[in-house]
Each structure stands twice: as C-alpha cells, then as structure tokens.
Amino acid sequence: MKINHIVETQQFTQPLLMELFDRANLMKKIVARGGTKDYENKIMTSLFYQQSTRTRFSFESAMYRLGGKVITTEQAAFFSSEITGEHLEDTIQIIANYCDVIVLRHLEAGGAKRAASVSPVPIINAGDGAGGQHPTQGLLDLYTIFSELHTLNGLNVAFVGSLDNGRTARSLAYLLSKFSRIKLYFVAPKEMQIKPDILEHLDENNIIYTLSDSLEGIIDQIDVLYQTRFEVERFPNVNFDYSKLKTDTSVLQKMKYDSIIMHPMPRDIEISHSVDSDKRAAYFRQAKNGLYVRMALLSMLFDGN
C-alpha cells in the first residue's frame, strides 16, 4: 500500500496496520543481525520546533539501523539568524532539497498537514501541538500490544492518568476501535477524563467502554494497563488521592499473569520503580518497539516513493 506522508492516525486502516506490523517484525530481525545498508543513500532530517529528545533519538536510531544518514535540529524555531519564525511552508521547501524524508515536530496542531501539502519529500508527524497528533506513538503502542499478546482482538485495555488531553491514550483508543471484542476502561479523576469525541467514535464502532476513577473491580480483568502521567500541575484545584491510580507491587499482585503494563514515558510517580523487574512491565520494551515501528514506517515511505 502506498503512503506519501505520515500525518495522522486516521490514515491507518486495519490492513495497513497489519502490513506495518509485519514490516516491524522484519525490522526486529534486521536489528538483531546488526541493521541493513539498504537505505544508505537516504538522508533524514529531524526538524524539531520543540525538544523531544526521546522521540528524536528513536527516529534517528531507526534511520541509522536502516543504513541512512541524519541531519538534525531541535531548535527549528530559530531556523535562521535573520528571521525568527520563518514561514513553515518555506522552511519545508528549502529543507526538502537536502534530504529524502523530514521528521517534523511542530508546535501547532495541523503543522504536519501544512508541511505535507507543500513537501516534495515525505513528512512524518512526530507530534504537532497539544491538540494535534503524534501518530507514530499510537502505532508503536499498538504494535507493542500485538507483539506482547500476539493478538489485537478480544482485549481488555485500561487507560489511567490525565486522559483529557492525553494524546497517546486518545490515539491508542482510536486505533484499538478497529479491532473486535475490545473493551476499554478509562480511569481518571472526572476532571481529567477522556473527551466525548473519542467516546462518540467508540459508540459508532460498537466498542464497549466504562469510565471510572478507580482500578477497583477492573484490575484483575485487564490485559493491558496503559498508565500515563497525572499532570497534577494542570489541575491545582482537583482534590484527588492519586495514590489510588498508581501502579505498585500491590497492584501487580491483582493483575493477570499474562497482562502487560505500558507507559509512553517519561514516568513521574505513577509507576513504582519496584515494578520494573516484573516481566509484565513492558514500558522499556515499548521504547524498543518504537525503533522497529519507525524503521518500518521509514522503509515504507522510501519503498513507495
């Protein structure tokens, strides 16, 4: 299937997701044997208007494991010494002369779409604003579930944390709605609950879900515990006992033997470090999957273009 840019999660149909995951599995094998040189003539630009070293490193490692090269800035807002805040479309049309793909982290929702509309080389959206998208994160999260549990059907998935503007939880919920017999649990103080647009989408797709502010009565049934930050700083007036939503060893004891715990990182206080050594703690493997999925996406763009 041919894709020209990776701008939003909605581009990914179920067949395209399966093609992507097949390719990610292949990339896992390629990394294990030391990478490939198949894309050694390709140059990737990391064009970051905001620091996000974790995401940048993941993409750059992916490009290197594919044999390619990388040009990078985390200060794209200060792109030139003459004008601060140059027109994004101009910047893209200049940079496109120097590379074969642009990984863009922008500050405004819709930035990636604007870039894609003028770019002669593929754009990959690496996050565009708080209200925007970060599709590769959603894809690597879905791949992690697939890779750990060997299916995407019939799963019970709980999302915990500040879900209202949690880009990662929103994207993953959206992607899971493409599969069957899915049950979702949104667990957050009511002020931080998932927004109605996602629930409407789930209703349209006949996905069962519940809203609550506690893991009580849920924790022993879930296959995936997707923990995110509480972002307490955004809710100074909310009086909530966040310890109820933390994952620690006592929570582990109630979880199914073959369940997994995920986190998009960085972690604050929401998962105890004592959980790390449990085999169900999948968040560091999740980071590794980001490498495979990004290699798969880059190679799909290169092969199709």
* Residues engaged in binding a second copy (CB under 8 A): 34-35, 41, 43, 45, 50-54, 57-58, 60-61, 64-65, 69-71, 73-76, 78-83, 86-87, 89-91, 93-95, 97-99, 229, 265-268, 273, 284, 287-288, 290-291
Nearer to a second copy, 57 or 240 (CB): 57
Nearer to a second copy, 57 or 235 (CB): 57
The H or E element containing residue 55 is: helix 53-65
Residue type, 116: A
Q: How many CB atoms lie within 10 A of CB 249?
A: 11
Neighbouring residues of 144: CB distance < 8 A, sequence distance ≥ 6: 260, 262, 282, 285, 286, 289
Cβ 37 to a second copy shortest distance, Å: 8
User: What is d(CA 173, CA 123) in angstroms, rounded to the nearest whole number?
Assistant: 24
* CA 168 centroid distance within chain: 6
Nearer to a second copy, 65 or 183 (CB): 65
Cβ 288 to a second copy shortest distance, Å: 4
Nearer to a second copy, 185 or 230 (CB): 230
Cβ 55 to a second copy shortest distance, Å: 9
Cβ 127 to a second copy shortest distance, Å: 8
Helix axes 14-32, 283-304, angle to 10 degrees: 110
Cβ 305 to a second copy shortest distance, Å: 13
How far is the CA of 285 from the CAs of 143, 251, 292, in angstroms?
Answer: 11, 20, 11
Nearer to a second copy, 45 or 177 (CB): 45
